[in-house]
Amino acid sequence: MSPELQICKNCGTENPADVLFCLICGKDLAREPLSDIPELGDILAESSEPLEKNDDLPEFIRNLHDEIPRTSIRRSSIFNESSETEDAQPESNPQESETFEENIPEWLKKIRDRAHTEDDAAGDLIKKVTARETHDLKSPQDDPSEEFEGWLGQVRKSAQRDTVNFQQEGQDDQPDEDEIPAWLLKVRENEGKLMQEAPSEEQQGSSDPGSVPGWVREAAGKEDEIILSTEPTQIIKVKPPTEADQPNSSEDINQIEEQLEEDLSSDNTSSQLNDVTQQLQITSSGEAGIPESKEKEENVKVFWEEIAKNPVSAVIKEQHSKAELFKALLSVEGQPIEKIQKPEKKSSRVIRIILAFLLLIVVSLPFFFGISNDNFIGSLPLPAQAFLDRVEQLGSGSKVLLVVDYSVGVSAEMEHVAAPIITHLAETQVELAVLSSYPEGAWLGERLITSALAYRPDENLQMIVKYLGYLPGGRIGLYNLAQSSQSPIFNGFINLEAVTEPADLGEYDQVIILVDSLQAARNWIELVATRIPEIPVNMISSSQEAAMLLPYFDSGQINGLVAGLYESSLYQASISDTSQTGSTWLSYQIGLLFMIGLMLLGIVIRLESSGDRILKEIKK
């Protein structure tokens, strides 16, 4: 026989070493009389005494208690005959136990067999359940208070064993992350997301308050913090552990449990639990999560003394706190977390306002003082020169389709960039048709033409403009437009009198597309321009998208490109028109210089502050 096995004195069954009750008959398997153990003697004496009626129990313990009969009933239905046998003779002999074994399911047999052969095979839960069921089977019709008392005895012994183990461990044990249970890691993980900042003093906590495993110590530390930080009066006061103070009767236990029930059910419980979360948030950022101050060390000691004195109440209270903590965490799971923003420094706001007003004044000067710069440096870039050449090829009465595909946000830039080209087209006396695939493009087109012609009011420029409005459908609409001259179905469907028909693309001598984004430009190039290779397609874009559109000019997919105010100004100078953008151009130049200066200044300040910080760290 293996020395790890223990034989039941009642039925003779071999049981694993660490089970408390016989797996077959449920008899207590304590290898030595518990009364011989000084720490357990009194407690076991209490546990052997039956509790009073169920009505005397606290509510939450009664709830636990109520579950036991249900288990017994279920178990009885499975093993009906055996139960009856057991009922008739609670102290059954080994032969009757063998009869019972014949009726148990195969899977349970396997588990028990394996538990006999391998000590680790039976998990803690299975062992407890087996012991519990066996115990239930033994006397399912007994007074439930006895069953509960058995359960309570297990809890007491378990807690007492833990306490003894804690005391055996060395005082210098540091908290080990490996010992932290999964539930606490999960709490840390979740709470770490919630936590934005933790007090630095809390992060430094690393003292060793006791001789307990790291995770227990940590949990205990939090438990202790909760109690003492919120309602000190609710601590179960610990006196020196004398014999007189030991609970030696079921009445004493009930008294303690009632007190505990009151503590837990008091109105302050929720506030305590909120503090649990807060404390976890704070301590989870630290390495050890153990409070550093002496006061907290003492609190931890008080907690463990409490456990030593009254393990049942302490353990139940701790479990209750954990359960409530998880409940609180689950309640906030998935809820939006308010982002904690650092308050902006007043000085930085003042600097920002000053710089903004300075920029405003700088760019306003050319307009207020009527200063302009018409001497544009540089020659027209190749794409813009190609654009100019294409426009100059147009004659009076040529039809041009102007596509206005930009949003309101860049309308200021686009109007400035397009103005010289619109006036150039007006000078040429072309017939312009304005179309947009943007909803707001319909009125932006009208505004563009009006503002462009208003640049030269003296010359009274006039142009035949036909507003075709909005082309719905996005890419599909563009494809439809490109196909309209080829497909009679599309053409016949769209050519209703009520519809503003953008007409056949083949009617136009040139297409000019104003775009503010690469996507809009690609839509027109890919879906329209490739299907009308005989019609020149030119583009006007914001300076932001110029870099992305140049490859399309290189590949010949667009025939000309004017991008940004600089190229537009050069275009204007090329057609000897100096009436429009002189002040704007000067203001733009000054503004750019100002912003470049600000950027350089910011870089210098940043480098200096970084250098100072590094130097301080080196000195430290």
Please say which residue, 41 or 477, places its beta carbon nearer to other proteins. 477
* Spatial separation of the C-alpha atoms in residues 348 and 258, rounded to whole Å: 60
HEC secondary structure over 464-481: EEEEEEECCCHHHHHHHH
Q: Which residues contact 160 (CB under 8 A, 6 or more apart)?
A: 39, 40, 43, 311
The three-point CA angle 324-329-330 to 5° equals 95
CB of 575 to other proteins, least distance (A): 21
Q: Are 456 and 579 in contact (CB under 8 A)?
A: yes
Please say which residue, 195 or 527, places its beta carbon nearer to other proteins. 527
The torsion defined by the Cα of 189, 284, 265 and 306, in degrees rounded to 10, comes to 130
CB of 464 to other proteins, least distance (A): 22
Please say which residue, 145 or 583, places its beta carbon nearer to other proteins. 583
* Spatial separation of the C-alpha atoms in residues 476 and 482, rounded to whole Å: 10
Scanning 377-505, the segments in alpha helix (DSSP H) are 382-393, 411-428, 441-454, 474-483, 488-494
Q: Are 483 and 450 in contact (CB under 8 A)?
A: no
CB of 589 to other proteins, least distance (A): 10
DSSP secondary structure string for all residues of 150-169? HHHHHHHHHHHHHHHHHHHS
C-beta atoms surrounding 350 within 10 Å? 10
CB of 353 to other proteins, least distance (A): 5
Residue listed under structure tokens 């979360």: 277
Cα within 13 Å of Cα(325), Cβ side: 24
CB of 400 to other proteins, least distance (A): 22
CB of 516 to other proteins, least distance (A): 8
The SS3 call for residue 234 is helix
* Spatial separation of the C-alpha atoms in residues 402 and 330, rounded to whole Å: 59
* Spatial separation of the C-alpha atoms in residues 383 and 539, rounded to whole Å: 10
Exposure letters 383-394 (e unless 16+ CB within 10 A, then b): bbbbbbebbeeb
CB of 339 to other proteins, least distance (A): 14
DSSP for residue 542: -
* Spatial separation of the C-alpha atoms in residues 539 and 548, rounded to whole Å: 12
Q: Which of 218, 225, 309, 322 is nearest to 259 (CA)?
A: 309
Please say which residue, 164 or 547, places its beta carbon nearer to other proteins. 547
Please say which residue, 182 or 498, places its beta carbon nearer to other proteins. 498
Binding residues (CB under 8 A) for other proteins: these are: 344, 349, 352-353, 356, 359-360, 363-364, 367-368, 408-410, 412-413, 415-416, 439-440, 442, 469-470, 472, 474-476, 479, 493, 496, 498-500, 522-523, 525-527, 529-530, 542-548, 551-552, 554-557, 564-565, 583-584, 587-588, 591-592, 595
Cα within 13 Å of Cα(310), Cβ side: 28
* Spatial separation of the C-alpha atoms in residues 47 and 244, rounded to whole Å: 18
CB of 456 to other proteins, least distance (A): 15
CB of 404 to other proteins, least distance (A): 14
CB of 373 to other proteins, least distance (A): 13
CB of 578 to other proteins, least distance (A): 17
CB of 549 to other proteins, least distance (A): 11
Please say which residue, 142 or 501, places its beta carbon nearer to other proteins. 501
* Spatial separation of the C-alpha atoms in residues 433 and 511, rounded to whole Å: 10
CB of 443 to other proteins, least distance (A): 8
Please say which residue, 270 or 495, places its beta carbon nearer to other proteins. 495
Cα within 13 Å of Cα(502), Cβ side: 26
Ramachandran bin of 249, using left for φ above 0, alpha for ψ from -120 to 50, beta for the remaining angles: beta
How far are the Cα atoms of 113, 264, 304, 582 from residue 229, in angstroms, in the given order? 51, 16, 17, 72
CB of 512 to other proteins, least distance (A): 19
Please say which residue, 24 or 404, places its beta carbon nearer to other proteins. 404
Q: Which of 575, 587, 531, 520 is nearest to 557 (CA)?
A: 531
Taking the alpha carbons at both ends of the chain, their separation in whole angstroms is 67
